[in-house]
Structure 1
Amino acid sequence: MSEFQAQEDINGLRFSWNIFPNSRLDATRCVVPVGCLFTPLKSLKDRKPLNYAPVTCRKCYSVLNPYSVVDFASKSWTCNFCSQRNQLPPGYNDISQTNLPAELLPQYSTIEYKLPRANAPIPAFLFVVDICTEETELANLTNTLTQALSILPQETQVGLITCGTNVHVYDLSETEFKKSIVLRGSKKYTTAQIQELLGLQAQRVMPQNQNQNQQTQYRGNISRFLQPINESEFCISSILEELKPDGFTVEPGNRPLRSIGTALSTAITLLSCRYGSGRVIFFGSGPATNGPGAIVDVDKKKPIRFHHDIFQSTSNSIYVKEAFNYYTELAEIAHKHGIAVDLFSCSLDQIGIHEMRNLSKKTGGLILVTDKFDTDMFRDSFRKLISQAIVLTNDSLEKTDNTSSKNPILLSFDATIDVYTSRELKVAGAIGNCESLKKKSPFVSNMKIGTADTSAWRVCGIDSASTLAFYFEVVNLHNSPVPPDRIGSIQFLTTYHTFSGEWIMRVTTSPHRFASLESQIDNIILGFDQEAAAVLMARYAIFKSDTELPQTIIRWLDKTLIQLFSKFANYQKNQPDSLSISPKFSIYPQFMFHFRRSNLLKVFNNSPDETAFFRHYLLRENTFHSILIIQPMLQSYPLDKSPSPVPLDSSSIQKNVVLLFDSFFLVLVFHGKDIAAWIKQNFHEQPEYQSFKLFLEIPKGDANVLMENRFPRPRYVVCNQGDSQSRFLLSRCNPSKTHSNSQNQIMQSHQNPQENQVILTDDASFQYFYNFLKRLVVQG
């Protein structure tokens, strides 16, 4: 798969089928949709934005690219998406086949332009703090926020809102005494009511130049609540330092009154009254119980909803639908105004991420679910988010590399992504943390997958890790397939602004050949990227999970796997052992096996908030990290050999090795029984066993590297074989040896020091799963 990864490094693209089927029927028979994973802000090495505007087609507005047909004699070009002939600008009079501008060079299939627009205002950060928590926890949070003020650029506008029984919007213009506007937490306010209470007066502002649209700006009073750090740092630091838990008494047997819905509505309304994008960052320490958006009753006798309550619509889930719809409405407002919403849940209890998930999903925001504010997982993740809000020069961008940067995300704002396709293709939809711009165009398919019926999407908060899945339809009918000599094209136009306000357009154009599934099936097989295909199918499954039960989705995945193998495997009817499959498909069943067993679909042991958290990152991460979420990585550290990857299988768990397990959300160092016994006897502390001490440091060092380079910071666990925490590893391993198939081995385990781990489970092993798959395939 190195050729596919090389393409991803250049363009940020991974396609399920790199050679497309040449008709709609053939595309259907391929089972896995024609689609791609696209990382719009993938780090580009040795490339600076061009300091001139792109040349666009006067009919469809796509951009001149290396695959456009250029007539050097007439100085014109033909659009490869709508076939419109366009005249080149006067600045291109000197071009020839030996003197090409950068955008026509084949190696510049991805290129950036610095747009001649007035700079956007520097984004604002509005912190929303839940104060219904213990004093020590609140102090941990406020200390972290105070540190954040020293990291953010001093010209950044910041604001502060707290929520408890009521909502307080702090006036940062006052230096002598602290002042706040108080809103009743139990009331559902309209946008106009919040604006009136905050004293925000709207007025139309004419554009300063022809490149700006007329804007509604809110002058005067909004500066009371959003102030640059260099003017308000003392004031906001004093407020944070003196912040106390909510003063309203909580009756015994009751939950605190938390007005999260009103607080988020106020925050989004406040930022929407400002010209420019921004982020609402919410810090929650418990469930919403008061006012709009409440997810549970104040009375603790009424438990919070779990998955079975939601599936079965029990009395515990009576708040779910109303709260979900309320937060979705807020998400639509935030998306309309280019506001990203980040949700940090730091509580042993659920706070309602399940209901609030669209706030982050539709705006490109981030989610974190952990236990407390006093954890490395929270502190480090929040620090990485804030530390990327810096003004990066071209030189610093050039040196930034996603694989080596300690903080791999680079924040950008208010991105729009337009998709253009040649006449053989249409875009069926997108799945990811984005929202539709409802742009109707000739490139939109009637087939709908994900967020569909549009050829343009917005991502309010975007970074170099944000990845979207796009799905396409082959238009040609089976009786008029795409000719074998024709090359189709897909173009992505990503327009965004950096933290410093510069507007950038990134143009990515990808050409594709077509082949017949009947006469050129080998070519189609060679172009199959099983990693990208697995992630595209997994995202499709998660999209379906909003309306379908997990068991229904698992049956759908099994059905598609059977159909895929029926089409591309070689076998003799009713002879399972005769089945053979190309290496291009060999790992795909393994991905599906681990995906159907993962906590993305098997939600029994997870809360709805945790499930929403896990699914959120499958919908935003690149191919590598998504595969890690689907099938975790396992690295073995033997005493007498070099470290090496091993199968995610119970046979890899041995007494005399250390294992490093990485599931994206969890990094675990696992000591086999013998290793654990030596540690217990303090061998690593004795001078004659210094080599053993160094051996133990190697996996821990590798674990630190993994955690340092990832957002959000994973949970870190060190455990021994037989410990309760070893369940995190055992639950994800293929149970090749279980209590039901290894009785003889268990009886003889004392005779064999290399005896593998036996897993106590009724789950089927991968070998059983694969054998059953073969039986179903050969039966036709």
Structure 2
Amino acid sequence: MEYHFEAVSNGRPPPSGGIDLYIPPSLQHFSENPDHPSYVPPQSRALFFSSTKVPNTNDTLSKMNIPFGVIFTPAEHLEPAPPCLRRPPVKCKSCGIIINFLSKLRPDGTWNCTFCDSRNESSREYGDSDAVHYPELHRSLVEYLDPTTQPSVMSSDLECIDYYLIDLNFSAQDLNTIVSSIAAAVRDTPFADATVFPGIQPVSSAEMSTISFQVNDYVVPKNECVETTLSIALDAIRETALRRRSPSGLRCMGTAVETCLSIHEMIQQRNQSVQLHGRVTLFISGHPNFGPGSLPSILDDSREGRRYFLEQADEYYRKLTITASDMDLAIDIICGDMGVPMLNRLCLGTGGTILLQREMEEQQLKKNLVKGIHRVVGIRGVVDVMCNRGLRLTHVIGPSSASQIQPEQENDSPYRITIPLSSVQPRTSLTLLYDIESDLHRDNIDFQFSVSFTNSHNQRVLRVVTHRVPTTGSEEQYIASIDGDITAVMISKMMCAQARKQIDHRNNTAAVEQSVVKILRGCGKVSRRGGYVLPTHLSLLPKRLFMLQRGPLLGPILQHMDDIDYMRCLLIQANLQDSLRMIDPPLFMVDSSLRGEQPLELYPLPTEDLAMQSDKILLLDHHTEVFRWLGGMVGRIHQTADLEGILKRCDEYVESISRHRYPHPSSHSFKEGTSMARWIQCRLIPSHKDTTEEQLENFPQMDELTEEDRRRLLSKFHRTDDLSYLQWFKKLNAT
């Protein structure tokens, strides 16, 4: 890969900081090849505010019951790429704000900071006539590279290490699948022997000394891996374990992870000139039940006993998370039924992910392992958020530990907070929510977000985004400036974060309904028919929250608590586009008139069960799962060859939308009338309960059916207690 540097001249000798070098950031952080596992589809921006104005009093903000905040994706792949400057940023001497397009320039090269109004001298001799030559003075987003480092095309083999920990309680078939999947993800893994230790307690110093002498047998370069080498390693472990006569079914996960961290520390000590980082991928067949961090439910079934073990395990994994995070080691856990949501702390706190794979399907597992290796853009990430006084940060939702967030100092101006990132990934976002601490007597509130991280080429990168939000004293202007989709995602993230602390899902339902009622009263107007009517641009907000309430994030849908917590953790750190798919999945109808090699055409439909017509093929994209539903009459309408061609193109489409997502979505195909078809029906709004007039208004395709077809369609649905969206909305609007 080549790097092209463009020297920019402004017609006079270069400033003392040297020549500005513009490097397309996409070449440094992301692959430009869509077939490469690290490729990320570019987005147009990284910053999404809930409104384009902010009210100047907290009373107005509280009355609307709509949070003011921002969704920030620190390492988003942007197009067009922002300018990248190979020199240190110029900062305000008083508050530390980086000079930006809002700064007030003077002809003598000095500038005034808009955050603290201090006057600054500049060694770079800024001037009004030269602003066009300095991207930071007319662009809202720029990047800086540490001028002391040169970009390297290849990183050292020792800089990033991938560890694989495998629970031998998996079935022989699953173990073979794991071996072949790892072999597809890494290369050249020669093993000679295996060392097995009892897991009842952490590995002792003497045992670690044994590992120290043999560390090169455990950590080797990645080159041309073959499955037989991994099989040899597993066979060696099995044979040694049998000689130890260890009982089967025991999973000493804590000791295994501790041993892995100790090995990593040894390698770091032997290579002190290089800052190592890496990833631990743990395959476990059930919850840890032996040694440190175990939850041996057989020992004490009482509530007090279980609480004791939970508290002990939670504290253990908290400390383990801090240790792994300090070593820049992300921990991924690939498992079946866990029953221990607290293990998400170990993953989220280190920048890893829990992947639920109850069936070790080889192709999907391979894709997840390969994507997992390439998904991280950088390490040691830190986000600094600054804004004018008057706002106060109340919530930080995303990949960071609350205990590590450093709030402002009392006398700081502007308001400042530092947020360490557990990982720097292109589709990972922070959600920041504010309230108004004191009345805002300014025309605008200025924000600056700066994220610094070390990229894969060992360069220290600083990305700076500056944004201005006007203030308003008018309730109407504030309501008109609210973005319904961004607000829906913010509320959903906040409720999912709170729901992780709840046990009864009915509390979540009540919270959603109370929020909708307050939004109707705060932002709506009383209609002649009674009830409240929201402005057109906010009309979808209650529907998004209804889908949140009945979907897999908060609702009692057909799933285990592990699935619910898994989805919530994904949403909490997802970017805007991914979050919307998880909250309100899009539904498409496939054009079944295709013949030959005609391209696949999809038509968007309302996410309602009225779409389940017997002559239709439907696709529902729920981000982590993609469902295909085949109506019962489709097979009679089409010839076998034509239908096979349509279904093949459906599969190709599903693969195309899944290829750049992590985790890789599961794909499901159902036929009408089968028991498994309920998995898609439970995600659709039961609008068959609405009146005929309401159905025709909200689902216009119903008008294409004859009276007999409508009767036949409605007769397919069983009577349930579920409310349609309109029934639910009417109930809330009448309160």
TM-score range, shorter chain: 0.7 to 0.9
- 2:166 counterpart of 1:129: yes
Contact 2:349/2:400, CA 8 A, preserved across alignment: yes
- CA distance in 1 between counterparts of 2:84 and 2:634 reads 53
**How far did residue 234 of structure 1 move?**
11
Contact 1:342/1:360, CA 8 A, preserved across alignment: yes
Measured on the aligned residues, the alpha-carbon RMSD in Å equals 3.7
Q: 1:354 aligns with which of 341, 353, 360?
A: 341
The superposition leaves residues 573-595 of structure 1 with CA deviations (integer Å, 9 ceiling, x where unpaired) of xx654632211210011011111
Aligned to 1:207: none
Aligned to 1:397: none
Gaps of 5+ in 2: 1-41, 269-274, 595-600, 694-701
Paired letter, 1:511: R
The superposition leaves residues 47-85 of structure 1 with CA deviations (integer Å, 9 ceiling, x where unpaired) of 452111111223332211111222232x22222333333
Aligned to 2:569: 616
**How far did residue 411 of structure 1 move?**
3.0
- 2:383 counterpart of 1:381: no
Paired letter, 1:567: G
Query: Aligned runs of 1:723-738 on 2, under 5 Å?
Result: 723-737=674-688
Aligned to 1:471: 433
Judge which range, 667-676 or 94-103, deviates more: 94-103
- CA distance in 2 between counterparts of 1:602 and 1:471 reads 24
**How far did residue 494 of structure 1 move?**
0.8
Change (3 A) 1:433 1:547: same
- CA distance in 2 between counterparts of 1:20 and 1:616 reads 29
Paired letter, 2:406: K
- 2:478 counterpart of 1:524: yes
- 2:55 counterpart of 1:24: no
Change (3 A) 1:364 1:759: farther
- CA distance in 2 between counterparts of 1:444 and 1:757 reads 66
Aligned to 1:53: 88
Aligned to 1:293: 293
Contact 1:655/1:753, CA 8 A, preserved across alignment: no
Contact 2:170/2:285, CA 8 A, preserved across alignment: yes
Aligned to 1:492: 449
Q: 1:149 aligns with which of 164, 167, 186?
A: 186
Contact 1:635/1:660, CA 8 A, preserved across alignment: yes
Aligned to 1:185: 199
Judge which range, 262-271 or 31-40, deviates more: 262-271
- CA distance in 2 between counterparts of 1:471 and 1:660 reads 35
- CA distance in 2 between counterparts of 1:628 and 1:423 reads 35
Query: Aligned runs of 1:169-318 on 2, under 5 Å?
Result: 177-178=192-193, 180=195, 182-188=196-202, 197-199=207-209, 225-229=218-222, 237=230, 239-240=232-233, 242=235, 245=238, 256-272=249-265, 274=268, 275-297=275-297, 313=303
Aligned to 2:587: 634
3-state SS, counterpart of residue 354 of structure 1: coil
Change (3 A) 1:460 1:316: closer
Q: 1:536 aligns with which of 481, 490, 503?
A: 490
Contact 2:180/2:227, CA 8 A, preserved across alignment: no
**How far did residue 695 of structure 1 move?**
3.7
Gaps of 5+ in 1: 1-7, 159-171, 202-218, 304-308, 389-408, 446-452
The superposition leaves residues 531-559 of structure 1 with CA deviations (integer Å, 9 ceiling, x where unpaired) of 11111111111221233343223222221
Query: Aligned runs of 1:393-404 on 2, under 5 Å?
Result: none
Aligned to 1:68: 103
The superposition leaves residues 620-674 of structure 1 with CA deviations (integer Å, 9 ceiling, x where unpaired) of 2111111111111110125469631111111111111100011112111101121
Change (3 A) 1:665 1:771: same
Contact 1:12/1:38, CA 8 A, preserved across alignment: yes
Aligned to 2:640: 684
Change (3 A) 1:706 1:604: closer
3-state SS, counterpart of residue 92 of structure 1: coil
3-state SS, counterpart of residue 381 of structure 1: helix
Change (3 A) 1:537 1:509: same
- CA distance in 2 between counterparts of 1:29 and 1:727 reads 40
Contact 2:181/2:362, CA 8 A, preserved across alignment: no
**How far did residue 44 of structure 1 move?**
2.1
- CA distance in 1 between counterparts of 2:142 and 2:71 reads 18
Contact 1:426/1:444, CA 8 A, preserved across alignment: no
- CA distance in 2 between counterparts of 1:268 and 1:23 reads 50
Aligned to 1:668: 627
Query: Aligned runs of 1:455-604 on 2, under 5 Å?
Result: 455-477=417-439, 481-483=440-442, 486-516=443-473, 520-549=474-503, 550-571=505-526, 577=530, 579-603=532-556
Q: 1:109 aligns with which of 140, 146, 166?
A: 140
- CA distance in 2 between counterparts of 1:607 and 1:460 reads 27
3-state SS, counterpart of residue 589 of structure 1: helix
Judge which range, 575-584 or 27-36, deviates more: 575-584
- CA distance in 1 between counterparts of 2:613 and 2:629 reads 10
Contact 1:373/1:379, CA 8 A, preserved across alignment: no
Contact 2:169/2:248, CA 8 A, preserved across alignment: no
Contact 1:353/1:612, CA 8 A, preserved across alignment: no
- CA distance in 1 between counterparts of 2:410 and 2:578 reads 30
- CA distance in 2 between counterparts of 1:118 and 1:297 reads 53
Paired letter, 2:391: L
Q: TM-score, normalised by structure 1?
A: 0.76
Change (3 A) 1:414 1:593: same
- CA distance in 2 between counterparts of 1:454 and 1:280 reads 34
Change (3 A) 1:200 1:521: farther
Q: TM-score, normalised by structure 2?
A: 0.81
**How far did residue 118 of structure 1 move?**
5.4
